[in-house]
A and B are shown apart, each in its own frame.
Chain A
Amino acid sequence: MRGLLNLLQLFWPAIALAFSAAPAVALQPGTTDFSVAGLAPEAAGLAIFQEADRRASGYQDLSVDLEMILRDRRGNQSQRQLKIRQLEMAEDGDRLLVVFDSPKPIRGTALLSYSYKFAPDDQWLFLPAFKRVKKITSKNRSGPFLSSEFAFEDLALQEVEKFTYRLLESESDESGAYYLVERTPVDDTSGYSRQLVRLDQAELRIQHIEYFDDRERPLKTLTVSGYEFYLERFWKPAQMLMENIQTGRSTQLVWHDYQFGLGLDSQRDFSTNSLRRVR
């Protein structure tokens, strides 16, 4: 019996290959034990983001390279290269470090951010020309991150507690079953009155966000695509496109070379000291 099982295992690749020769691989539908049935819209929205956060947590640390392409209404284009490092903290205060590699005049410019659940984030900017670390005021966080369409707050880690939620839709369309959740920033230094977030029901990945400015006008849309599956656990996007509806500008982010479990250290790699020396 055991031998038979072994033999079967051995030939699984061939059997699987035969199956996969069908035009589309019949993957398991994304059925999960996660459900928001019966919850009030607010509780359901919160539950969705808590679950999404739980699924996205536990990578400990990561490093990823990022290409940032800025476009204005006239089609002018400017490209930047950045490196991002993230560290999950056991308690509060997940850490993020962003370093510019190009263009050369801003090479070495770096941003360090500590994200807190119930307090405003701490953010520092290092300007290599002045060897000066500057703490950024909270209001500044709604401002553009180095001229991109991403605000400082968009790039900071999105703690669940920073918003209140309301599930608006739980529907299906041609791209699958999705949730549409409205989230409202708790912190009044945010540049947004609210955001409409669309996540797929199968994996709770953010697919699309619509941002509204403080006068309730549509401001920006973010489209996230090219999710890939890492470490058997984490979905990470390959592309993000932030489009400013009001100005016609856009910023495209292309993520590549994700690395996990580098053994990054909160003090060695995410202090204002490391901000000064990182390249």
Chain B
Amino acid sequence: MKIIRAALLMLTVFAAAQGLADQNSAEAQSPYRLVFGSFQSMQNATNWASRLSLRLKTVIVAEAFEREEGIWYRVVSEARSPQQLAELARAADAAQLRYWRLLGGQTQVAASRVDRQAPVTGPPPVRPVELVGTPDRTSNEPAADSVVQMLDLDLGLQSQTFFRSGLDGQSKFHPSVSLRADYYRNWDNERQSFTAAPFFRYDAQDSDRTHFDLREFFWTRVGDSWDLHLGVKQVFWGVTEFNHLVDIINQTDLVENIDLEEKLGQPMAHLSIIRDWGIVDFHLLTGFRERTFPGEDGRLRRALPVDTNNADYESGAEDKRIDGAIRWSHNLGPLEFGLYHFSGTSRDPQFELRQKSNGNYYLKPFYPVIDQTGFDGQVIFGDWAWKLEAISRSGFGDRYAAATGGFERTLVGVFGGRTDLGLIAEYMWDERDDEAFNTLFEHDLAFGTRWQVNDMANTQALLGLIWDVDTHEYIVKLEASRRLGDTWTLLVEGRAFGGAHSPDPDDSPSDLLDPDNKLGPVMRDDFLQLEITRYF
């Protein structure tokens, strides 16, 4: 050990002597020196300087200078030629040392890797500092031109098991497989990014559920108080659990799930502006996506098949119409709200009853042009979150209003454990009452419990009941998930339908479409769904 120390000492002395030799010739042309830190304690400064000298194999000294609080000691390189300083700066960069440049005897601060960032302000330290550990790990500089990219793949194996065969004899067992890729890349200091998320499902029973969709495919440019997104994107608005009234930007991918939460990618230009008084979002929606519907072999569908190949539009531009939406959202203490207006082709269709040449009836979707104003708000008081969503829509028959409101109360650590239990109650209302043909929820009450087990596997579950207070139809809903290790997840879903009567497939179309028996066609569709997903 002693020998090593002696050798190191000699090396330093040698380096110092070298530095002395260089100094006289180079000093005249030195524009600056590099500072590696300032200390109130001379001993700490010299200690640091000696460590740096060894590390950078050059002379780093501690020199005294005056500050308001008294004498300080700065750890600084010797005056050298610009080339030598550039070399030293490179070595310091490589060693991930933090430094700045000292111009002449003046304090700070010329351009260096460090100085590109905002200087640290605030009062200077007024206490002795002490060096422990390895202070050379002060900071890794932000990698300005680094590119971050990630690719995730998930493969899902899904089985839907229905307890009975369908109204038209559809099969009880519906296995399917889905593949989703998520590619993300950012550059330009995270100011720009690109996201792509293609999705594909193959369903063994229902060819209409076998489908491909570009969920996301967009470029983002982030400004100081704005974001611009161009491409295919997903945007969700809303606060309530059981009904998503205000959510309108993306079309529903109904074959994926009847809960209206799975959406198709929507092409758009989206500009978001952040101000003190909230966020304003402008959406220019270029092109319309038709809703997906289960095919004749599919389950969870209407009593008559929907012909998705020949949709009608109110707009002469059909699915090429450019729609628009503008939304203002803000957060004021416990209150959070959004207010928007949408003008464009309705995401949910009306249906026209048609007859094929062979006499079979079918439903033809018709997409009118609507104007919809919507509000969503949430107020949080303690463990209560009160929620409201409301819309007013014109162009879809007479102008009408609809609302969903309620609360979720979160109980933390129930039963003395670490499980969080959310108690949810919501009421859904539609001004049109029984005439509300495009929704199941016109006078319905919903109750739910959300279980968050807070275990390592992220186990969570939602059990809910939606009950029509007039017709007494009801839906029981179960959603539960947990991780299996680091790369698998298990998702369980189930629905049970009740309170309606299952129509006879040979009934007249008006019976099959009975608005007082909206759940009738799915009365035989109680199911349990298991999905296991592998993440790559």
In the complex, the answer to whether A14 meets B378 with C-beta atoms within 8 Å is no
Given A13-B46, A28-B41, A142-B412 in contact, is the A229-B135 Cβ separation under 8 Å?
yes
CB distance from A275 to the nearest CB of B (A): 12
Q: Is B5 an interface residue (CB 8 A)?
A: yes
Picked from A20, A146, A247, the residue with its CB within 8 Å of the CB of B50 is: A20
In the complex, the answer to whether B336 meets A273 with C-beta atoms within 8 Å is no
Q: Which residue of A lies closest to B78 (CB)?
A: A10
Docked Cα-Cα span, A55 to B193, in Å, equals 37
Picked from A25, A34, A58, A277, the residue with its CB within 8 Å of the CB of B120 is: A58
Docked Cα-Cα span, A34 to B34, in Å, equals 32
Docked Cα-Cα span, A146 to B119, in Å, equals 35
Interface residues of A in 122-160 (CB under 8 A from B): 122, 130-132, 135, 137-140, 142-144, 146-147
Q: Is A38 an interface residue (CB 8 A)?
A: no
Given A143-B412, A261-B119 in contact, is the A137-B128 Cβ separation under 8 Å?
no
Interface residues of A in 6-55 (CB under 8 A from B): 9-21, 25-28, 30-34, 54-55
Q: How large is the interface on B (under 10, 10 to 19, 20 to 34, 35 or more residues)?
A: 35 or more
**Which residues of the partner chain A approach B131 to less than 8 Å between Cβ atoms?**
25, 27, 229
Determine, out of B54-62, B315-323, B341-349, B436-444, the stretch whose residues face the partner at the interface. Answer: B54-62
Interface residues of B in 424-441 (CB under 8 A from A): none
In the complex, the answer to whether B383 meets A32 with C-beta atoms within 8 Å is no
Q: Which residue of B lies closest to A134 (CB)?
A: B239
Docked Cα-Cα span, A261 to B154, in Å, equals 37
Given A25-B47, A268-B224, A279-B184 in contact, is the A13-B59 Cβ separation under 8 Å?
yes
Q: Is A168 an interface residue (CB 8 A)?
A: no
Q: How large is the interface on A (under 10, 10 to 19, 20 to 34, 35 or more residues)?
A: 35 or more
Docked Cα-Cα span, A229 to B43, in Å, equals 16
Given A13-B50, A26-B43, A277-B193 in contact, is the A230-B486 Cβ separation under 8 Å?
no
Interface residues of B in 118-141 (CB under 8 A from A): 118-123, 125-135, 137-141
In the complex, the answer to whether B9 meets A105 with C-beta atoms within 8 Å is no
Docked Cα-Cα span, A120 to B410, in Å, equals 16
Q: Is B400 an interface residue (CB 8 A)?
A: no
Q: Is B251 an interface residue (CB 8 A)?
A: no
**Which residues of the partner chain A approach B8 to less than 8 Å between Cβ atoms?**
17
In the complex, the answer to whether A272 meets B279 with C-beta atoms within 8 Å is yes
In the complex, the answer to whether B142 meets A232 with C-beta atoms within 8 Å is no
Q: Is A212 an interface residue (CB 8 A)?
A: no
Interface residues of A in 245-273 (CB under 8 A from B): 247, 257-263, 265, 267-268, 271-273
Q: Which residue of B lies closest to A20 (CB)?
A: B47
In the complex, the answer to whether A138 meets B456 with C-beta atoms within 8 Å is no
In the complex, the answer to whether A14 meets B487 with C-beta atoms within 8 Å is no
CB distance from B319 to the nearest CB of A (A): 23
In the complex, the answer to whether B225 meets A104 with C-beta atoms within 8 Å is no
Interface residues of B in 168-216 (CB under 8 A from A): 184, 186, 193
**Which residues of the partner chain B approach A273 to less than 8 Å between Cβ atoms?**
227, 272, 274, 279
Given A20-B47, A131-B236 in contact, is the A10-B126 Cβ separation under 8 Å?
no
Docked Cα-Cα span, A30 to B486, in Å, equals 45
**Which residues of the partner chain A approach B46 to less than 8 Å between Cβ atoms?**
12-13, 15-16, 19
**Which residues of the partner chain B approach A27 to less than 8 Å between Cβ atoms?**
41, 43-44, 130-132
**Which residues of the partner chain B approach A277 to less than 8 Å between Cβ atoms?**
193, 220, 222, 227
Q: Is B477 an interface residue (CB 8 A)?
A: no
**Which residues of the partner chain A approach B224 to less than 8 Å between Cβ atoms?**
265, 267-268
Q: Is A174 an interface residue (CB 8 A)?
A: no
Q: Is A107 an interface residue (CB 8 A)?
A: yes
Docked Cα-Cα span, A72 to B152, in Å, equals 28
Docked Cα-Cα span, A267 to B408, in Å, equals 29
Q: Is B230 an interface residue (CB 8 A)?
A: no
CB distance from A2 to the nearest CB of B (A): 12
Determine, out of B12-20, B303-311, B492-500, the stretch whose residues face the partner at the interface. Answer: B12-20
In the complex, the answer to whether B78 meets A257 with C-beta atoms within 8 Å is no
**Which residues of the partner chain A approach B486 to less than 8 Å between Cβ atoms?**
78-79, 102-105
Contact code string A62-104 (vs B, CB < 8 Å = 1, else 0): 0100000010100010110000000000000000000000111
Q: Which residue of A lies closest to B191 (CB)?
A: A268
Q: Which residue of B lies closest to A65 (CB)?
A: B140
Docked Cα-Cα span, A120 to B384, in Å, equals 14
Q: Is B418 an interface residue (CB 8 A)?
A: yes
**Which residues of the partner chain B approach A263 to less than 8 Å between Cβ atoms?**
117-118
CB distance from B418 to the nearest CB of A (A): 6
Picked from A9, A20, A70, A228, the residue with its CB within 8 Å of the CB of B62 is: A9
Q: Which residue of A lies closest to B43 (CB)?
A: A28
**Which residues of the partner chain A approach B411 to less than 8 Å between Cβ atoms?**
139
CB distance from A70 to the nearest CB of B (A): 5
Docked Cα-Cα span, A247 to B418, in Å, equals 10
Contact code string B25-61 (vs A, CB < 8 Å = 1, else 0): 0000000000001110101101101100110000111
Q: Is A172 an interface residue (CB 8 A)?
A: no
**Which residues of the partner chain A approach B44 to less than 8 Å between Cβ atoms?**
27-28
Q: Is B235 an interface residue (CB 8 A)?
A: yes
Docked Cα-Cα span, A187 to B487, in Å, equals 39
Q: Is B256 an interface residue (CB 8 A)?
A: no
Given A10-B20, A231-B98, A232-B125 in contact, is the A259-B382 Cβ separation under 8 Å?
no
Q: Which residue of B lies closest to A278 (CB)?
A: B190
**Which residues of the partner chain B approach A259 to less than 8 Å between Cβ atoms?**
139-142
Q: Is B455 an interface residue (CB 8 A)?
A: yes
Docked Cα-Cα span, A48 to B124, in Å, equals 19
In the complex, the answer to whether B412 meets A30 with C-beta atoms within 8 Å is no
**Which residues of the partner chain B approach A191 to less than 8 Å between Cβ atoms?**
412-413
Q: Is A239 an interface residue (CB 8 A)?
A: no
**Which residues of the partner chain B approach A70 to less than 8 Å between Cβ atoms?**
456
Q: Which residue of A lies closest to B137 (CB)?
A: A228
In the complex, the answer to whether B487 meets A105 with C-beta atoms within 8 Å is yes
**Which residues of the partner chain A approach B59 to less than 8 Å between Cβ atoms?**
10, 13
Given A135-B378, A137-B385 in contact, is the A16-B222 Cβ separation under 8 Å?
no
In the complex, the answer to whether A105 meets B16 with C-beta atoms within 8 Å is no
Contact code string B399-413 (vs A, CB < 8 Å = 1, else 0): 000000000101111
Given A9-B61, A12-B61, A13-B49 in contact, is the A267-B225 Cβ separation under 8 Å?
yes
Q: Is B505 an interface residue (CB 8 A)?
A: no
Q: Is B148 an interface residue (CB 8 A)?
A: yes
Given A72-B456, A104-B152, A271-B274 in contact, is the A16-B47 Cβ separation under 8 Å?
yes
In the complex, the answer to whether B383 meets A140 with C-beta atoms within 8 Å is yes
In the complex, the answer to whether A11 meets B16 with C-beta atoms within 8 Å is yes
Contact code string B144-156 (vs A, CB < 8 Å = 1, else 0): 0000101010100
Picked from A16, A130, A232, A274, the residue with its CB within 8 Å of the CB of B49 is: A16
CB distance from B496 to the nearest CB of A (A): 23
Picked from A15, A140, A274, the residue with its CB within 8 Å of the CB of B410 is: A140
Q: List 10 A-B pairs, Cβ < 8 Å.
A: A10-B78, A12-B50, A14-B12, A17-B5, A120-B334, A140-B412, A265-B224, A267-B225, A277-B220, A279-B148
List 15 other contacts, CB 8 Å, given A13-B49, A28-B44, A279-B186: A11-B13, A14-B9, A18-B9, A19-B43, A25-B131, A27-B130, A28-B128, A105-B535, A135-B378, A137-B408, A229-B133, A230-B138, A258-B139, A263-B118, A267-B224
| A-B residue pairs, 3 tightest by C-beta | A58-B122, A139-B383, A16-B46
